[in-house]
Amino acid sequence: MEQQNNPVKDRADGLIDQIISNQSAEKNEANITQENEGQVLITTARVVSIRYKIYVLLLLVLVGFFAYDYVQPAYYDYLDTNAKLSNITMEINDFPNKKLKFEADRKLVTTITQQQNQIISCLNYQLGCAQLDKAIQNNFGIARSYIQLNTLSTPKMLVDEKKILANINEFLIKKTSKDPGVVSRSKNGNINNIAIGEPKA
């Protein structure tokens, strides 16, 4: 018996084939669309990543500019202030020592003023040197200079005669002993004439 072609069956088979081919085409289109979407997402992620890198670089440049213009001078000001503060702290810590030295100098000047006649006698005639105060014996050069220059409030001239006379006195009265406790002096010579300034015609 021969099989007859059934038109309904042929149509159903064609319809099934068409549905299957449509489904495979849709799957292929879906796969292509998914691949395209994946590529778009990867490209977008790369663009966003590059954009963020540019933002970070710009931010670093701005931070560097800010640090150079504002932070660096502020840092140097901070170091300068710390140096000044340490100097002031050192001066404050050193003040008691300076005060003690000032008080000792003031006491020495007072003692020199009180014993001025004995110092002059010791300088000129080497008499009474042992009876001088120990502070004066230890600082005899200072005492001699103080008495020679007296006060510095005298009117000054073009040539400071007091300093010249003090130097001449130093030359004439020479200390012969190297021991600071021993006060012995010898004369180098005699002054016959002193001329300060230009000779008068």
Amino acid at site 1:
M
Average the pLDDT over 98-112 and give the result: 88
d(CA 107, CA 57): 71
Sorted by where each begins, the domain ranges of the chain are 16-98, 115-187
Average the pLDDT over 10-30 and give the result: 70
pLDDT: is 105 or 12 the higher one? 105
d(CA 152, CA 170): 19
* pTM for the full predicted model: 0.39
140 contacts 154 by C-beta, under 8 angstroms: no
SS3 187: strand
pLDDT at residue 95 greater than cutoff 70: yes
pLDDT of residue 45: 77
CA neighbor of 185 nearest in space, from 135, 140, 132 = 140
pLDDT of residue 69: 81
Which residues does 144 contact at the CB level (< 8 Å), separation at least 6? 119, 123
DSSP 185: E
